Amino acid sequence: MKDLTNLSLLEQIDGLNSKEFSSVEITSSYIEKIEEQNKILNCFISLNENALEEAKKSDSKIAKNKANTMEGIPIAHKDIFCIKDQKTTCGSKMLENFISPYSSTVYEKLFNSGTVNLGKTNMDEFAMGSSNETSFYGNVLNPIDHERVPGGSSGGSAAAVAARLCSFATGTDTGGSIRQPAAFCGITGIKPTYGRVSRWGMIAFASSLDQGGIFANSALDAAIALENISGFDKKDSTSLNKKVPSFFNEASSTNKDHIVGIPRSIIENIKDSEVKNNFYDSVEILEKSGIKTKEIDLKNIEFSLPVYYVIAPAECSANLSRYDGVRFGHRCENPKNLEDLYARSRAEGFGEEVKKRILIGTYCLSAGYYDAYYIKAQKVRNLIKESFVNAFKEVSSVMMPTTANVSFKQNSIQDPVEMYEQDIYTIPANLAGLPAISIPSGKINNLPLGIQFIGNYLNEGNILNLSNLFQQNTNFHNE
């Protein structure tokens, strides 16, 4: 029998609906792979003991012709999405024993569409990191090269999809946490427009930047999955009340009416010549397939990194202030008084990277520095948004490398600033709230590289279509 885990999401859906194979068979195949490989890769924090029972229910619905859109498809969730009566840790000791009393909207939407939950994937603690080395549950390894990182913070989901331990996986992207690991692991990762996917039940890092999204093996697979998690949610005040189009139809369209913007000044400043050459090779592939390109100027983009590392820590310090050892989360033993309870619970519960960002954020929000740092950063953020607005008057999307380099070795970056610079090309889309997708674009020394397309607001279909056209003319996503 063929390996069901190597089929595309569309092939799995068709195979289940035609009863060529069952959900129990495909779920069992994934579980066997997880049991074999997770001991090495450390992709999963927890596994769903009821996965096979969920698969049996799906098979029963399919047999009665009552199947939902993705009935019986085995998937994984980043351990930042709450699931009722299940542990949600966010990769932190602070939430080591937290059992959620409710489910996130993303989980509920996928559950209602018929998916089978295989488990919760590993991640950088509270989504703070670019390498999946800050998790309380240990490092995740890149399935392509076990000495290297899978990227972060959604590295567990990226590695699980790349190793074919699930059909697709959910992730979150605050400054590139879907696209960067997608590039490092050689898969497709999409972050939609801010507000397209509900943040309800998704544990907050930086509320004005966080956005849920999808890891998949191709743009078409990502389109199907994204459509099923998108839509208005009255429980989320930032949710957009906009109709969700058929992303799959838009992605698979033969339309080539694209004008791709190339920010030449950014590309010329790429330090790694092989990354630069790969980017220009990708541009050539697009042009040969009939896609128009145009040079553009993205003013103020060079300020994205410092702006992000003021705004994100500021919002994180506010969001993480709720973890005080009183209502939920880690609580120290035998506190002397209330101040000791707060101090020791947080010191014991949070890891070093989280503490570092809380301190930076608290400093930026403190009296005397709020105007100098936070307010100024917000003003520059508006200038960055304006740069994209002006660019989209001339082009339909913007193309950039996803990362400045291929995946680096575990524990090889000790300088925090150097680690923060890993997100240099992904952060602008988050600051502007724009949809962005990363797809494989080739390899350097057998390690994958990615390119990303940034689209206009609510124009996920455009960048999915562009990505699919690129993948039709290349085979990088199948390698």
Buried b (16+ CB within 10 A) or exposed e, 224-260: bbbbbbbbebeebeebbeeebeebbebbbbeeeebeb
Asked whether the predicted pLDDT for residue 262 surpasses 90, the reply is yes
pLDDT on residue 341:
94
∠ CA 60-10-402, nearest 5°, is 130
pLDDT on residue 328:
86
Tokens 């970056």 appear where?
413
Q: Within its chain, how far is the Cα of 146 from the centroid? A: 21
pLDDT on residue 321:
92
Asked whether the predicted pLDDT for residue 366 surpasses 90, the reply is yes
pLDDT on residue 288:
94
Mind listing the pLDDT tens digit for each residue in 281-312?
A: 999 999 999 999 999 999 899 999 999 999 99
Mind listing the pLDDT tens digit for each residue in 6-63?
A: 999 999 999 999 999 999 999 999 999 999 999 999 999 999 999 999 999 999 999 9
C-beta of residue 342 within 8 angstroms of C-beta of residue 295:
no
Asked whether the predicted pLDDT for residue 1 surpasses 80, the reply is no
- Would you state the structure tokens that stand for residue 165, as one six-digit string? 């331990």
Catalytically active residues are 78, 153, 177
Buried b (16+ CB within 10 A) or exposed e, 432-442: bbbbbbbbbbb
Mean pLDDT along residues 151-176: 97
Mind listing the pLDDT tens digit for each residue in 218-245?
A: 999 999 999 999 999 999 999 999 999 9
Q: Comparing C-alpha atoms, which of 467, 327, 456 is closest to residue 389?
A: 456
pLDDT on residue 131:
95
Mean pLDDT along residues 466-471: 97
One-letter amino acid at 162 equals: A
CB count within 10 Å of CB 202 equals: 25
Residue 466's φ and ψ, nearest 5 degrees, are: -60, -40
Asked whether the predicted pLDDT for residue 209 surpasses 80, the reply is yes
pLDDT on residue 457:
97
Percent of the chain predicted with pLDDT > 90: 93
Please provide the average confidence, as pLDDT, over all residues in the chain.
96
Mind listing the pLDDT tens digit for each residue in 425-456?
A: 999 999 999 999 999 999 999 999 999 999 99
Mind listing the pLDDT tens digit for each residue in 89-122?
A: 999 999 999 999 999 999 999 999 999 999 999 9
pLDDT on residue 197:
98
CB half-sphere exposure, 316, CA atoms < 13 A? 26
What pTM did the predictor assign? 0.96
Mean pLDDT along residues 191-211: 97
C-beta of residue 166 within 8 angstroms of C-beta of residue 160:
yes
Burial of residue 337 (CB within 10 Å: 0-12, 13-18, 19+) is exposed
DSSP category for residue 6: G
The two beta strands, 74-78 and 116-121, are parallel
Mean pLDDT along residues 194-205: 97
Q: How confident is the model at residue 339 (pLDDT cuts 50, 70, 90)?
A: very high
Buried b (16+ CB within 10 A) or exposed e, 104-142: bbbbbbbbebbbbbbbbbbbbbbbbbbbbbbbbbebbbb
